[in-house]
Structure 1
Amino acid sequence: MGVGGHFWDLLKPYAKNEGPDFLRDKRVAVDLSHWIVQQETAVKTHIRNPHIRLTFFRTINLFAKFRAFPVFVVDGTPLPLKSQTRIAQFFRLSGIDSLSLPVTEEGVSVERNGAFQKCVNEGVELLELLGMPVLKARGEAEALCAQLNREGQVYACITADSDSFLFGAECTIKHIRPYCKEPFECYHMSDIEAGLGLKREHLIAISLLVGNDHDLNGVRRIGLDTALRFVKSFSEDEILNRLHEIGRGNTLQFEGSINYVGDFTSCSDKNSRKTKLPHCSFCGHPGSKRDHLKFACEYCSSSKGCMPKPVCFECDCPPCDLVQRDKVQRKEENWQTKVCKRIAMEQNFPNDEIIELYLNKNKGNHSVDDGLHMSWESPKTEMLIDYLAYYQQWQPSYIRQIMLPMLSTIFLRKVALNSTNDLLYGQYEFDSVQRVKIRYGCQFYVVKWKKASNAMHMVPSEGSDIQAERGEHDESSDLLDEPDAPHVHVEDGCLYLSTDEHMELVWAAFPEKVKKFLQEKEVEEQKSRWKRIGIRSEQTPEKSESTKVKSVQLNITEFYRSSKIRCQAKPTENVAKSSESNSGSFKGKRTECSPNLSKSARRRLLFG
């Protein structure tokens, strides 16, 4: 949840949508609990183990498509401070009267929901098989994510909990949309400070006033707008100290001492408040009407005398301006006094334990239980296949196909580092670069992988393939953030598949293949360029004749008759040409098409 009172709506104007290269080759901390909670609201139909499905697909997308190095963080033992709040939140969502709320013993923490913890454990097991580092915090996961971000261990945090800013996060990613040109919705603390003028201590003060994960109620009759207006009255260094003073009941010393936005000179001293001078009822400026009838006042500056004042006229002379500002000051003082009285009515406000938790004054509250170990290993493919086949009942060929973008990324990285590595145990080998593809505003190389001849499998029976394909279709119809599956095709009796790879990785791993592709591309472009030049040269005599004809002025009926004849002749020629080209292309496609096998059969040939 985080800060109450629709806190995300306050930060929404300062969000930035970043492109797919935002996390390239960078570490990012992921709050695993956020993904598991999110799948409960995202899934509209019955799906088998959606938390496993969502974690599997998003991890592959994050690692392969966005080239990030994710570090997953899970919650540790809940702190005693949050136990009472979690119970109160459960009672509130269940509609039970809060008067019957049980009181937990001091220093005793309440364990998390057993079903939710089971989902977390299964997700951790899946991530370990994928080779991803998993850290267990001593307290809240978003607190450890923020600490890693603040210390420079990771570049950003992926969580929807707004508490991350209170814990000190510099960059928080709330949403990821894998199939957009700008998939990351990011919130930078620097933008929030520049736009709202709020720093970390200000945000902590707002959470104390409107409520947070450790105190759902906050201060009664104080909303987000009131809290924002009140907090901005103080500087970052004094805001928490002022809340302590107000909480103790010392509210009189703050009357007239707050500098608000649109600051003006304080005039709280009653002796300094001057009374309003008499004004002319005709022109509205200082002075009497009798005097202004004789001589025009200095404000009108007219030789014919004072001018009548317009409707809704307000005098802007120094005495009137001082009186108006004094009214605004007294209004602000009255509002500030009401807010201070509401704060003083709360017991044990502000809670020092919550402030120390957010500021991490007790070092080690958010640290890792078993130390900080971040290393990315190769996936344990066969064990992962057994795991997903058991929990999701997926075909092994389907699992290998979905994992291929991740495995190919690891393969290219290791080849670039001159370390030996096989792609799916030597079943595939790098063949060539086919073309350049633009996807979501970024350029990729379409890489062609060849199935090794010694890894061919027998084609299964057609009946079993149809049943398996139907079953897989039922399972994969509602996938969440499913990665792009490689394109499968057959050429000259050999099985190939194509994947979209990052250009830098392909160049670093196979520079000779890329150079060959660029040379072939340059030759083809040169041929097409010479072909266009030849066509133009053939058309030049016709153009010269047409210029001669154009020099003679034609009758209007002759002109339209000739153009009509030409227009009638073109469609037949175009139809004939298009039919020939279509028939030729169709024959070419028929020859290059894969055998008449089902989708599942082709998948088993490649990934079985």
Structure 2
Amino acid sequence: MGVGGNFWDLLKPYARKEGFDFLRNKRVAVDLSFWIVQHENAIKATHVRNPHLRLTFFRTINLFSKFGALPVFIVDGTPSPLKSRARIVRYFRSSGIELASLPVPEEGVSAERNHMFSSHVQKCVELVELLGMPVLKAKGEAESLCAQLNSEGHVDACITADSDAFLFGANCIIKCFCPNFKEPFECYNMSDIEAGLGLKRKHLIAISLLVGNDHDIKGVRGIGLDTALRFVKAFSEEDILNRLHEIGKGNTSQIPIFIKFEDDMDMDGNSLNRKQSHCSLCGHPGSKKDHMKFPCEFCVTKADEGCQRKPEDFKCDCFSCDMNRKHKEKKRLKNWHTKICHKIAEEPNFPKNEIIDMYLCNDNASDGPHIVWGKPNIEMLIDFLNFHQHWEPAYVRRMMFPMMSTIFLRDMTTTTEETMLFGQYQFDSIERVKMRYGYQFFVVKWKHAGVNISCKVPLKESSVQQDAIIELDETVDLLDDCDVPEIHEDSGCRFLLTDENMDLVGAAFPAEVKRFWQDQELKRRKNSTSRSQENEKSPSPNSRSIQLNITEFYPSTKVKHRQSKQGGGESSKIADSQGNEGSKMKRKMSSPDKIPKSVRRRLLFD
């Protein structure tokens, strides 16, 4: 989708890998149709109920709570007739049907998407509105409104896979969320593209006209992405679209200024590209006959020697040869540009002014942008998901808990009217600090104010949750990884544990955060004091005065026998003789060949 010819591959080297906290407190415009299409392509299991609703639900919660972003959802309006025809052409090509039987939409009439996809979009719109997220409808394409909101400063980034969002004026596009936790965002900035490729917005529009786009798939016959890139870079941004209009009218003499060489003349009017005569032996300026009379000044020779033979890869770097090479290069570029201009001129009705006007137009919203984030309607949301997904209320509330805790902490920074989360949970304490995706989070304990029934997970809910698990592609981004609050029991009370942003918790409960860090410091000092006392009581194992040798750790039977001879009497001798007889009997009963070497070695240390 977007500009043809693998346009994203051209921009790939200039993508940034942003960190996990990149979207914290930033407004992002989300192309909802792109999400739904991506969901349908990622799903492999066919038994899942309404996967577009399930993944939209979890993605919205994660984008809001996990990444801390403020999403604005954009839906498509009425597509243009050109977009409708291009969509039909794409369908015919994928189906293997000849384009000769292609139906032509009437002028001013647009072909809407199929009924099933429109129904999916409408249900997802109802879902995100129940979640309290703003939804805007574009007059035409959703990516055009995303780009307009981004260029006008209403949002900080766009989440879409349509590359023509840059043509509509977008400044920052997030194409996907990488599976790598340390670098989850693949972010494209227009400033990086301008610095790396030297292309601006009108350059990109010209490339899309040459290689094809969503409104004209074929583009110009015989021109690929590399050729189009090389061609448009020869003109300035203010000049490129006007030059395309002139070439489209048949004026193929539109040559860039740096290719023209009519002014390569000296003071006397002679052409500077005329090559000076060179010696056929050494290759330096001057004829061979002249070098026989006078030695060549470029060859290192003695007085009685002539020119040296030039090597096979010799290239003269004199002024005449340099000018001649430049002249040939300009002539080659001129012929190449002339050839491209002839291809463009052969294309009928090129360029299409309606496509250019659509890309440059900044009036894509059906109404003025009215962006307001509200609170989720929990009861209606439970009824909606129970009807469409068959999820039980306890499961929905538990899945909504991370989003509601984020809203609660944000509200606590501005007002202290509400002290209860969900009307029944209150902030208890900070359990610990947790490393997640390379960033630190507070694990917050939420205590139920009354009877702890809502914390429990019914058996039916567990089965529903298992049915909701789907098999996704390996490249599915982090938005699909749902966070479930952990249930914790302590002293007969039940708590819910959630991972919260440290800055958000610090702004909402500064006294609790201060108390937590003080307790951590006391524990650290106490542990260091106890370690030092233990070290003072127990001697160091590295001391040579108390280090035992191996015979003291593992005294052998020979040492014991020697000690008994020295200090023992008759009784000890009898005991030793009995022990020796017993050991001899053991040796006779078990053959040494059948006993492993490791076992025989251990028998020595009895």
Normalized against structure 1, the TM-score is what?
0.84
Counterpart of 1:41 in structure 2 is: 41
Q: Using the alignment, how far apart are the partners of 1:240 and 1:565 within structure 2?
A: 93
Q: Are 1:391 and 2:388 counterparts?
A: yes
Counterpart of 2:511 in structure 1 is: 512
Q: Deviations over 1:332-374 (max 9, x none)?
A: 11111110000000111111111111010xx53x02x243211
Superposition map of 1:554-573 within 5 A: 562=549
Residue range with higher mean Cα deviation, 481-490 or 522-531: 481-490
Q: Following TM superposition, by how much is the alpha carbon of 1:179 offset from its aligned partner in structure 2, in angstroms?
A: 6.2
Superposition map of 1:94-493 within 5 A: 94-177=95-178, 180-252=181-253, 254-255=254-255, 257-259=256-258, 272=271, 274-293=273-292, 295-303=294-302, 305-360=306-361, 364=363, 366-367=364-365, 369-421=366-418, 423=420, 425-456=422-453, 466=459, 468-478=461-471, 481-493=480-492
Cα distance change, pair 526–305 in 1 and its aligned pair in 2 (3 A): farther
The number of equivalent residue pairs is 543
Structure 2 unaligned residues grouped into runs of 5+: 556-606
Q: Which amino acid aligns with 1:317?
A: C
CA contact (8 A) 2:25 2:69 kept: yes
Q: Using the alignment, how far apart are the partners of 1:184 and 1:504 within structure 2?
A: 21
Counterpart of 2:580 in structure 1 is: none
Q: Which amino acid aligns with 1:476?
A: I
Q: Following TM superposition, by how much is the alpha carbon of 1:398 offset from its aligned partner in structure 2, in angstroms?
A: 1.7
Q: Give me the identity figure in percent.
A: 57
Residue range with higher mean Cα deviation, 303-312 or 280-289: 303-312
Q: Following TM superposition, by how much is the alpha carbon of 1:455 offset from its aligned partner in structure 2, in angstroms?
A: 4.9
Counterpart of 1:573 in structure 2 is: none
Q: Following TM superposition, by how much is the alpha carbon of 1:523 offset from its aligned partner in structure 2, in angstroms?
A: 0.4
Normalized against structure 2, the TM-score is what?
0.84
Q: What secondary structure does 1:166 align onto?
A: coil
CA contact (8 A) 1:25 1:69 kept: yes
Q: Following TM superposition, by how much is the alpha carbon of 1:471 offset from its aligned partner in structure 2, in angstroms?
A: 4.3
Q: Following TM superposition, by how much is the alpha carbon of 1:238 offset from its aligned partner in structure 2, in angstroms?
A: 0.3
Q: Deviations over 1:385-411 (max 9, x none)?
A: 111111111222221111111000011
State the Cα RMSD in Å.
Answer: 2.5
Cα distance change, pair 530–244 in 1 and its aligned pair in 2 (3 A): same
Q: Using the alignment, how far apart are the partners of 1:459 and 1:72 within structure 2?
A: 33
Q: Using the alignment, how far apart are the partners of 2:293 and 2:539 within structure 1?
A: 93
Counterpart of 1:55 in structure 2 is: 56
Q: Deviations over 1:60-117 (max 9, x none)?
A: 1110011111001101111233222222222222221111111222112222221111
CA contact (8 A) 2:248 2:351 kept: yes
Q: What secondary structure does 1:169 align onto?
A: coil
Cα distance change, pair 292–180 in 1 and its aligned pair in 2 (3 A): same
CA contact (8 A) 2:431 2:442 kept: yes
Q: Which amino acid aligns with 2:491?
A: D
CA contact (8 A) 1:61 1:178 kept: no
Residue range with higher mean Cα deviation, 17-26 or 79-88: 79-88
CA contact (8 A) 2:391 2:461 kept: no
Counterpart of 2:564 in structure 1 is: none
Q: Using the alignment, how far apart are the partners of 2:217 and 2:98 within structure 1?
A: 15
Q: Using the alignment, how far apart are the partners of 2:238 and 2:321 within structure 1?
A: 36
Counterpart of 1:535 in structure 2 is: 534
Q: Using the alignment, how far apart are the partners of 1:407 and 1:177 within structure 2?
A: 26
Q: Which amino acid aligns with 1:507?
A: G
Q: Using the alignment, how far apart are the partners of 1:55 and 1:277 within structure 2?
A: 73
Counterpart of 1:584 in structure 2 is: none
Q: Using the alignment, how far apart are the partners of 1:134 and 1:567 within structure 2?
A: 79
Q: Using the alignment, how far apart are the partners of 1:506 and 1:458 within structure 2?
A: 22
Q: Which amino acid aligns with 1:352?
A: N
Q: Using the alignment, how far apart are the partners of 1:459 and 1:71 within structure 2?
A: 33
Q: Using the alignment, how far apart are the partners of 2:67 and 2:55 within structure 1?
A: 16
Q: Deviations over 1:198-255 (max 9, x none)?
A: 0000000000000011111110000000000000000011000000000000113x34
Q: Following TM superposition, by how much is the alpha carbon of 1:540 offset from its aligned partner in structure 2, in angstroms?
A: 6.2
Q: Using the alignment, how far apart are the partners of 1:169 and 1:114 within structure 2?
A: 30
Q: Using the alignment, how far apart are the partners of 1:475 and 1:120 within structure 2?
A: 20
Q: What secondary structure does 1:499 align onto?
A: strand
Q: Using the alignment, how far apart are the partners of 2:168 and 2:77 within structure 1?
A: 16
Q: What secondary structure does 1:321 align onto?
A: helix
Q: What secondary structure does 2:466 align onto?
A: helix
Q: Following TM superposition, by how much is the alpha carbon of 1:277 offset from its aligned partner in structure 2, in angstroms?
A: 2.9
Counterpart of 1:585 in structure 2 is: none
Q: Following TM superposition, by how much is the alpha carbon of 1:26 offset from its aligned partner in structure 2, in angstroms?
A: 1.2
Q: Using the alignment, how far apart are the partners of 2:273 and 2:19 within structure 1?
A: 59
Q: What secondary structure does 1:453 align onto?
A: coil
Q: Using the alignment, how far apart are the partners of 1:386 and 1:416 within structure 2?
A: 31
Q: Using the alignment, how far apart are the partners of 1:387 and 1:446 within structure 2?
A: 31
Q: Deviations over 1:472-494 (max 9, x none)?
A: 31322547713211111222221
Q: Using the alignment, how far apart are the partners of 2:325 and 2:532 within structure 1?
A: 80
Q: Using the alignment, how far apart are the partners of 1:401 and 1:359 within structure 2?
A: 46
| Larger gyration radius, structure 1 or structure 2 | 2
Counterpart of 2:558 in structure 1 is: none
Q: Following TM superposition, by how much is the alpha carbon of 1:520 offset from its aligned partner in structure 2, in angstroms?
A: 0.8
Q: Deviations over 1:407-440 (max 9, x none)?
A: 0001111122124336553221111101111111
Q: Using the alignment, how far apart are the partners of 2:109 and 2:18 within structure 1?
A: 43
CA contact (8 A) 2:395 2:461 kept: no
Cα distance change, pair 562–33 in 1 and its aligned pair in 2 (3 A): same
Q: Using the alignment, how far apart are the partners of 1:457 and 1:192 within structure 2?
A: 51
Counterpart of 1:555 in structure 2 is: none
Q: Using the alignment, how far apart are the partners of 1:291 and 1:466 within structure 2?
A: 104
Q: Using the alignment, how far apart are the partners of 1:567 and 1:137 within structure 2?
A: 85
Q: Using the alignment, how far apart are the partners of 2:296 and 2:106 within structure 1?
A: 77
Residue range with higher mean Cα deviation, 219-228 or 281-290: 281-290
Q: What secondary structure does 1:238 align onto?
A: helix
Q: Following TM superposition, by how much is the alpha carbon of 1:299 offset from its aligned partner in structure 2, in angstroms?
A: 1.7
Structure 1 unaligned residues grouped into runs of 5+: 551-560, 569-608
Q: Following TM superposition, by how much is the alpha carbon of 1:566 offset from its aligned partner in structure 2, in angstroms?
A: 6.7
Q: Which amino acid aligns with 2:467?
A: D
Counterpart of 1:502 in structure 2 is: 501
Q: Using the alignment, how far apart are the partners of 2:8 and 2:109 within structure 1?
A: 32
CA contact (8 A) 1:76 1:138 kept: yes
Cα distance change, pair 459–174 in 1 and its aligned pair in 2 (3 A): closer
Q: Which amino acid aligns with 1:489?
A: H
Q: Using the alignment, how far apart are the partners of 1:279 and 1:197 within structure 2?
A: 40
CA contact (8 A) 2:5 2:211 kept: yes
Q: Following TM superposition, by how much is the alpha carbon of 1:564 offset from its aligned partner in structure 2, in angstroms?
A: 8.3
CA contact (8 A) 2:45 2:470 kept: no
Q: What secondary structure does 1:109 align onto?
A: coil
Q: Which amino acid aligns with 2:469?
A: S
Counterpart of 2:94 in structure 1 is: 93
Q: Are 1:6 and 2:17 counterparts?
A: no
Cα distance change, pair 421–549 in 1 and its aligned pair in 2 (3 A): closer
Q: Following TM superposition, by how much is the alpha carbon of 1:531 offset from its aligned partner in structure 2, in angstroms?
A: 1.9
Q: Using the alignment, how far apart are the partners of 1:204 and 1:196 within structure 2?
A: 14
Counterpart of 2:30 in structure 1 is: 30
Q: Using the alignment, how far apart are the partners of 2:152 and 2:408 within structure 1?
A: 31
Q: Using the alignment, how far apart are the partners of 1:76 and 1:374 within structure 2?
A: 18
